[in-house]
Amino acid sequence: MNLKSFGEVFPLGTHICREPMPAMSEMKRDMALVKAKGFNLIKLQENWMLDEPSEGRIDLSRYEELIDHAGKLDLGVYLGLTCEQAPNWLYEKYPDARMVRKDGLPVAFQAQSTLHADGKPGPCYDHPGAMQAQLRFIAQLTKTLGRFENLVVWNTWQEISYWAEMLTGGSVCYCENTIKAYQAWLSGLYGGDIGRLNAHWNVRYPSFESVQPDRCARKLSVPQQYYYSYFMDNVQIANVLKARCETIKANDPLHRPVFAHKGGPSLTSGADWTYARTQDFLGSSNYPAWGNGSPWDDHRQSRYIPKHDGLLTELWDGLAYKMDYIRSANRPDAPIWAAEFQGGRVSTDLFPGRVPTGEQMRRFLLTTLATGATAVSFWVTRAEIMAPETNGFSLLDSEGDTTERLDAVETLNRTLQARAPLFNANNRPQAQVALLVDEWNYRVLQGMDFAPEVLSYELRGWYKHLWQRGIPCDFVEASQLSDPRTMGYRAIIAPFAHAMSDVVAQNLIDFAQQGGHVLLEAAPGMLSEVAMAPRGMMNPLIRRALGVTMTSHSLVREPGERDRFSQPERTWGEYEQAGMMQGMGPLEGTKLRASVMVETYSSDTARPLMSWQGRPCGYDAAVGEGSMMLIGSCLGFCATAYQDDDSKKAMDSILEMLSVEPEHMGRLLLTRRVGDKCQAWFVTNPYDEEIEETFQVNGNAILVDESGERALGSGEIRLRLKQLDVQLVIVEE
C-alpha cells in the first residue's frame, strides 16, 4: 500500500493502538484479522510524553515495527498525533508554559495516559519554547516515520479542543503569552487603530495593550468577553493546527494529506470552517449510541427512551446531522472522514451500552455514507483495555476472531471496494437549501443564559424536518455568503439569527436580489455583532428590504402544564398563552405552533403570511429577482418538541414557497451521491412500519443488501423497506 494505491480504494480503517498498548503479538494478529475482513487501513495514535520521555531522546521503534508489519500485509497507516499529552520535561524546562485558567490559577494537571481526553488541555503553545519543542518533535517524527510508503495520512489533533472546563474546572488560556497574542490579533483586526476598536465596541481603551480578556464570573453579551472566546477558538487553536500541518508538510517527502478531526462538530458555531482551512480537510468522530437527542425532545419525556424513536434519533441526529455539518464546513471537493466510528458498545466505567447488531451497524454506515463520507475508521479494533472505557467501542470483543457487527462491515465493504471511485470522492450534489451558521451570532448568544440552547435546538430542528422530508441540506457559514457557490442554493434558512452584522444582512439581501429565497425567524438582527440593539428591534437593512415594522415581541408559553425549555417567569404577564399562528394569503388554511417567542409586524408593502391573535406575524416581500420571508417565531422547535401534523404541514408549505422540494415524492427518503458513470442512492424508511414505493430510474438499478447484489432493472422500480431500514441502490448508466 502506498499513496497511489490508497487513492484507488475506499479507505476503511480501524484503530489498533494508543498508549497503553496491548501486546505487540495481539496487535499484529488483529491486523491480519481485519485485513482478511477487507480493511485497508489501520490507525496508530502516537504519544509525545512516552515517545520523548527525555528531551532529545525520541523512540518511535514501536510504531516503526507496527507500520512495517502493516506494510507486509499491504495495509495503509493513518497516524494521529497526541501533542496535548506533553512530556514532563517540557513543564520542568518551561514552567510558564502551563495554561492559565480564567481565575488566574495555572493548570497543574499533566496527563499520564491518553485517558482522560488524550492529554487535554496540555501546555500553552503560545509559549515560544513549548511551540518550538513541539514542532521539533513533529519534524523528527515525520522524518522517521515518513520513510514508510504505507503511511498514507497524518492527523495533527485527536479531537480538536481543550475541554478545560470539564477537565480542570476553568476555561483557558489566560497566560501572559496568549494575552499578548490576543492583543496583537486585535491590533491587526482593527488596522492598528485603537479608535476603530473603541468605536466598534463602544468603549474607550487607550491602547491595544490595555485590552484585557474579561474575567467576570457571569456570562455577558459584551465584546470584551466574547471576542476573547472567539480568539481562542478561531485564532489560537487554528494557529496550533496550522503550525503542526505546515511542519509535517515541510518534512514529508511524499506530501501525504494532513488533517485533524473533531470529537463532534461545533454545532451553531463557525469554528469548524476555520479549522478545515488550516488542514487539507477536517474529520469528525461518530458515536451515534453515545447519547440520544435532547431533553426537550418529545421522545425524551417518558421514563424510558422508546425503541423506534431512540434508534431513529441515532441515525438523523447522531450521524447524519453531524456529518452533514462537517462536510459543509470543509472546502468543496475535500475528503470527508468519519475519523472515529463507533465499533461496538459504548462503555463508561461500569455502565456498558448496547452492543450494535449487524443490522444496526449497516444502518450506521449507510447513513454516514449518505452524507458524503469518503472514509471510515473505526474506534477500536479489539475491546478497550483501559478504564473508564474498559471492554467498549470495539469491532472485536475481548476475545475471538469476529463478531456479527464486524461481519456486517465486511459484507458492505465488498460493494464499497468494488466501486471505490464512487465512494472515495466528495460527490454529494450541492443541496437546494442551506441552513445559515453565523459565528458572531453564536458568540453573542453564548453570553446569555437561555439563547444558546434556543439557537442549537432551532438549527437541529430545522435539520430534522428537512431530513425527515427527504430534502438534503447543506450548512453555509456567514463568512461564505459572498462565495459564488452560495448562489447555487435556491434558499437559505436563517434559524434564530438574533445577532446579525450589517455585512451578513446585506449578503442575505444580495442573495435574494440575485434570485434566491431567504427565510428569517423571530428577532432577526435584534442585536448587532457587538451586541448593541438597533432601534426598531430588527436589523435596519433587513427591515427596509422586507418593508416591515415590529409591533410586538413576547415570549409564548408551551402547551400543557409542564415547561421543558421556558424560562421561569419573574411576575405575572410576561408570557402570552400557547397557541397556533394562522396562515394567510398563500399559506391560508395552515396552522403553525408558536414556540419560545412570537412577534407581530405591520407593513404597507409586504404580503402577510401568518397571523397571531388577528395580528400579522409573518410577511414575505419580493427582493430583486428573489424574495425574503419573515415568520415571527421559532419554527425549528416544531420538528422535535410538541410535534403536531398541522405545524409540519405548514413548514412544508413554507418550503414550497422557497422552491425547495424532496428528492423523492413519497414517504421514503432519498439521498444521492453522483459519480462519473453511476450513482449511489441511499433510501431510508424513518417510520415504524414497512413501506413500499416506486422510483423512476434512468439507467440500470442494482440493489445491494446483506445477501449481495440483485438487479432491479431500469425505468420504474419498486423498493420495499422495513421499519428503520436503509437500502443502497447503485444506478449505472
Mean pLDDT for 310-326 is: 98
Distance CA 505, CA 546 (A): 12
Mean pLDDT for 353-365 is: 97
* pLDDT band per the 50, 70, 90 thresholds, residue 171: very high
* Rg of the Cα atoms in the chain: 26
Residue 113 has pLDDT above 90, yes or no: no
Say what the pLDDT of residue 562 is: 84
| 15 grid coordinates | 484503530
pLDDT mean across residues, the chain: 97
Chain centroid offset of residue 188 CA: 29
Give residue-wise pLDDT tens across range 548-569. Answer: 999 999 999 999 988 999 999 9
Distance CA 63, CA 223 (A): 46
Cell numbers 499578548: residue: 180
Say what the pLDDT of residue 414 is: 97
Give residue-wise pLDDT tens across range 429-450. Answer: 999 999 999 999 999 999 999 9
Give residue-wise pLDDT tens across range 697-707. Answer: 999 999 999 98
Distance CA 344, CA 409 (A): 12
Say what the pLDDT of residue 115 is: 84
Mean pLDDT for 476-503 is: 98
Q: Which range among 104-108, 334-338, 386-390, 516-520 shows the weakest confidence by mean pLDDT?
A: 386-390
Say what the pLDDT of residue 350 is: 84
Mean pLDDT for 410-427 is: 98
For 539, half-sphere exposure in the C-beta direction (CA atoms, 13 angstrom radius) is: 30
Q: 485 φ, ψ to 5°?
A: -65, -30
Mean pLDDT for 343-363 is: 95
Mean pLDDT for 169-197 is: 97
* pLDDT band per the 50, 70, 90 thresholds, residue 427: very high
DSSP string, 234-291: IIIHHHHHHHHHHHHHHH-TT---EEEEESS--TT-SHHHHHHTTSSEEEEEE-TTS-
Q: Is the dihedral of CA 579, 583, 589, 593 positive or negative?
A: negative
Distance CA 341, CA 409 (A): 12
Select the more confidently predicted residue: 342 or 17: 342
* pLDDT band per the 50, 70, 90 thresholds, residue 529: very high
Chain centroid offset of residue 670 CA: 21
Mean pLDDT for 517-522 is: 98
Residue 176 has pLDDT above 90, yes or no: yes
Give residue-wise pLDDT tens across range 19-63. Answer: 899 999 999 999 999 999 999 999 999 999 999 999 999 999 999
User: Cα–Cα–Cα angle for 460, 465, 470, nearest 5°?
Assistant: 125
Q: Are strands 597-602 and 549-556 parallel, antiparallel or unpaired?
A: antiparallel
Mean pLDDT for 154-165 is: 97
Residue 111 has pLDDT above 90, yes or no: no
pTM of the model: 0.98
* pLDDT band per the 50, 70, 90 thresholds, residue 426: very high
> Above pLDDT 70, what percent of the chain?
100
Distance CA 412, CA 430 (A): 26
Mean pLDDT for 276-294 is: 98
Say what the pLDDT of residue 522 is: 97
* pLDDT band per the 50, 70, 90 thresholds, residue 108: confident
Q: Under a CB-based contact definition with an 8 Å cutoff, are residues 90 and 123 in contact?
A: yes
Highest mean pLDDT among 13-22, 75-84, 110-119: 75-84
Mean pLDDT for 310-337 is: 98
Give residue-wise pLDDT tens across range 224-253. Answer: 999 999 999 999 999 999 999 999 999 999
Say what the pLDDT of residue 712 is: 97
